[in-house]
Amino acid sequence: MSYFSDLGLAEPILRALETKGYNDPTPIQQQSIPALLEGRDLLGIAQTGTGKTAAFSLPSLHRLAADPQPRKPASCRMLVLSPTRELAAQIADNMKGYAKNLKLSVDCVFGGIPISKQARRLVPGVDVLVATPGRLLDLIDNRALTLGRVEIFVLDEADQMMDLGFIHALKRVANLLPAKRQSLFFSATMPKSIEDLGKQFIKNPVRVEVAPQSTTVERVEQFVSFLNQPEKQALLSLTVRRLLAEKQLDRGIVFTRTKHGADRVARNLAAAGIDARAIHGNKSQAQRTAALEAFRQGSCPILVATDIAARGIDVSGVSHVFNFELPNVPEQYVHRIGRTARAGADGVAISFCAPDEKPYLRDIERLTKVKPAVMPLPENFLADAARLPAPSRRPADEEHEARRDHGRGRPGAGRGEGGRSDGGRRDGGRGDGARRDGGRSQPARGDAPRRDGTAAPRPERRPDERVAADRNGQDRRREAPRSDGAKRVDAPRADNARHEATGEAAAKRRFRPRGPATTGQHRNKVRRVV
């Protein structure tokens, strides 16, 4: 049996590990730490939850402490890049714990919070900086950080970083790093195409692979239930309620593919009497932090998340993972169920598979070489599901997101329908005379009121007329020939300053000063022009 004391780490680091209760290194740590202490580049592949963070943190902190250097303004000696905010914050917290007996500073920067505060923290310099790519480049562009003194460069979750659109940011960061540096790549999965791409950033790396690529943790029991998509919410609510009542579920994570779906599932669980919170990219950083903290403390037993949480949420006691929707990328399944069965514990992964998701299931089975056991639907499922609250179709907290995704006004409405910015539906564009507050104004031209108070139907436009949208998104009639051959000219609009009654008025308005004249000479000049 091997111990951390056998790996040659500094005594202050060993004391910090003893405080955390870490005695035996994991396989990825046993094989990585000696090579990293020698200064070699490394490509590490291991299942999620096996201790990759400590594998690169411990030897890096040892090397920095063995060669103390004064901090220089707006610089760092070690840079760790992470794809998500949650993972970056987790890495920084772990490294602060490992370095608490060392005279090394650790900081973390990511989006969602004011950049000015982070820039001020970096003014004196820092030894270890954990960052997400976007915020890192923002700080560099604002001249709040330079990378010329980086000695150790770490890329965690390398496959996701390069495979999900971060490749251009990585290339830019790599060009800013000094050529002489130690580079470390760690990931749970490493397809060959991503590995070949990673070789552009690391030189002659030591490859450490303690488990086959894309395999799942053996201690996770995997199940799948086949049902229709509309039945998933009822099955999830009934299953979670039963597991909580039987005290089999400590903490559970429910994964969805979309942000709106995560909000909807969380609301439906809450309606069924289950405390659940959602976390995804549309949530503010304060909301994401609060939800994760409540889940970590146990006050909220269910966390509903998109794949942003599949990597980086290291919360002890996660006993169950529910795949409400199967991922269309099979590698994400590995990371999802890796949130349970951590640190030697056991876990359960339950997937809900609709008929159109069976191809995703086959891809997952082909990748993981594991076929989940079929979990039949519970008895009296339909009767029990009928007693649950009806699923929420349009949650209130999704309204703003849906309007933003689908355009102005109500979802699906075109610009000519005059959607309100506050979500209320305007009765129409120019021809319908809609008011700004969403209420119905007096009928517009052609909508003369009847004696009974109702509006007569508006006469239809002639076929030879066309409708064009101007810059304000309002409809405007183009000039169309009349039956007598003359051009028809629309009457000027009172609410549009560009439609002046005469050319003289337009000329006066064009030369009229916007504010009070500053000098008598300017005032006289304007008077002569008008």
Separation between Cα atoms, residue 135 and residue 458, nearest integer Å: 54
Is residue 140's pLDDT more than 80?
Answer: yes
**Does any domain span residue 278?**
yes
Quick one: 348 and 238 in the same domain?
A: yes
Q: Quickly state the pLDDT bin for 470 (edges 50, 70, 90).
A: very low
Say how many Å lie between the first and final Cα of the chain, rounded.
Answer: 96
Among 392, 427, 447, the domain-final residue is 392
Is residue 462's pLDDT more than 80?
Answer: no
Model pLDDT for residues 366-380, shown as the tens digit of each residue: 988 899 999 998 888
Is residue 235's pLDDT more than 70?
Answer: yes
Quick one: 170 and 123 in the same domain?
A: yes
Is residue 420's pLDDT more than 60?
Answer: no
Quick one: 358 and 275 in the same domain?
A: yes
Separation between Cα atoms, residue 418 and residue 441, nearest integer Å: 14
Q: Provide mean pLDDT across the span 108-136.
A: 94
Separation between Cα atoms, residue 59 and residue 206, nearest integer Å: 15
- Min mean pLDDT across 121-130, 187-196, 222-231, 260-269 is at 187-196
Q: What is the pLDDT of residue 211?
A: 62
Q: Provide mean pLDDT across the span 246-273.
A: 92
**Does any domain span residue 500?**
no
Q: Provide mean pLDDT across the span 289-301.
A: 88
Quick one: 67 and 146 in the same domain?
A: yes
Q: Of the candidates 84, 89, 80, which has an alpha carbon nearest to the alpha carbon of residue 61?
A: 80
Quick one: 50 and 117 in the same domain?
A: yes
Q: What is the pLDDT of residue 6?
A: 87
Is residue 190's pLDDT more than 80?
Answer: no
Amino acid at 183: S
Q: Quickly state the pLDDT bin for 348 (edges 50, 70, 90).
A: very high
- 525 or 114: whose pLDDT is higher? 114
Among 359, 392, 425, the domain-final residue is 392
Residue 332 tokens, joined = 């994400």
- Min mean pLDDT across 10-24, 295-309, 496-510 is at 496-510
Separation between Cα atoms, residue 160 and residue 311, nearest integer Å: 9
Quick one: 388 and 427 in the same domain?
A: no
Among 183, 209, 235, the domain-final residue is 209
Is residue 417's pLDDT more than 70?
Answer: no
Spatial neighbors of 1 by CB under 8 A, at least 6 apart, are 24
Q: What is the pLDDT of residue 437?
A: 42
Quick one: 14 and 80 in the same domain?
A: yes
Q: Quickly state the pLDDT bin for 402 (edges 50, 70, 90).
A: very low
- 191 or 18: whose pLDDT is higher? 18
Q: Quickly state the pLDDT bin for 280 (edges 50, 70, 90).
A: confident
Quick one: 170 and 279 in the same domain?
A: no
**Does any domain span residue 494?**
no
- Total domain count for the chain? 3
Residue 530 tokens, joined = 């008008």
Quick one: 69 and 180 in the same domain?
A: yes
Residue with tokens 């809609």: 434
Strands laid side by side in the 152-156 sheet: 106-109, 126-131, 76-81, 152-156, 182-187, 42-45, 206-209
Range of the domain at 159: 4-209
Instruction: State the DSSP code for 208.
Output: E
3-state secondary structure 458-478: CCCCCCCCCEEECCCCCEEEC
Q: What is the pLDDT of residue 237?
A: 92
Is residue 34's pLDDT more than 50?
Answer: yes
Spatial neighbors of 49 by CB under 8 A, at least 6 apart, are 217, 314, 338, 339, 341, 342, 343
Is residue 227's pLDDT more than 90?
Answer: yes
Phi, psi (deg, nearest 5) at residue 270: -65, -40
Mean residue pLDDT across the chain: 76
Separation between Cα atoms, residue 132 and residue 308, nearest integer Å: 13
Quick one: 27 and 51 in the same domain?
A: yes
Q: Quickly state the pLDDT bin for 292 (edges 50, 70, 90).
A: confident
Separation between Cα atoms, residue 167 and residue 221, nearest integer Å: 35
Spatial neighbors of 135 by CB under 8 A, at least 6 apart, are 109, 110, 111, 115, 118
Is residue 527's pLDDT more than 50?
Answer: no
Q: What is the pLDDT of residue 284?
A: 84
- Min mean pLDDT across 32-41, 255-264, 424-433 is at 424-433
Neighbour-count burial of 298, counting CB atoms closer than 10 A to its CB (0-12 exposed, 13-18 middle, 19+ buried):
exposed
b/e sequence 472-511, b meaning 16+ C-beta within 10 Å: ebebbeeeeeeeeeeeeeeeeeeeeeeeeeeeeeeeeeee
Q: What is the Cβ-side half-sphere exposure of residue 208, based on CA atoms within 13 angstroms?
A: 27
Quick one: 175 and 26 in the same domain?
A: yes
- Min mean pLDDT across 63-77, 79-93, 345-359, 498-512 is at 498-512
CA 1 to chain centre: 41
Percent of the chain residues topping a pLDDT of 70: 68
- Min mean pLDDT across 159-163, 343-347, 439-443, 489-493 is at 439-443
Q: What is the pLDDT of residue 452?
A: 53
56: left (phi over 0), alpha (psi -120 to 50) or beta: alpha
Q: Quickly state the pLDDT bin for 26 (edges 50, 70, 90).
A: confident
CATH number of the domain within which 11 lies: 3.40.50.300
b/e sequence 18-28, b meaning 16+ C-beta within 10 Å: eeeebeebbbb
Q: Quickly state the pLDDT bin for 439 (edges 50, 70, 90).
A: very low
Is residue 277's pLDDT more than 70?
Answer: yes
The answer to whether residues 79 and 131 touch, using CB atoms and an 8 Å cutoff, is yes
Phi, psi (deg, nearest 5) at residue 349: -120, 120
Which helix (DSSP H) or strand (DSSP E) does residue 34 occupy?
helix 27-37
The answer to whether residues 257 and 327 touch, using CB atoms and an 8 Å cutoff, is yes
Quick one: 142 and 45 in the same domain?
A: yes
- 296 or 12: whose pLDDT is higher? 12
- Min mean pLDDT across 121-130, 166-175, 454-463 is at 454-463
Q: Quickly state the pLDDT bin for 137 (edges 50, 70, 90).
A: very high
What sign results for the dihedral spanned by CA atoms 322, 326, 328, 334?
positive
Q: What is the pLDDT of residue 335?
A: 80
Q: Quickly state the pLDDT bin for 476 (edges 50, 70, 90).
A: very low
Q: What is the pLDDT of residue 486?
A: 52
Q: Provide mean pLDDT across the span 344-361.
A: 91
**Does any domain span residue 101?**
yes
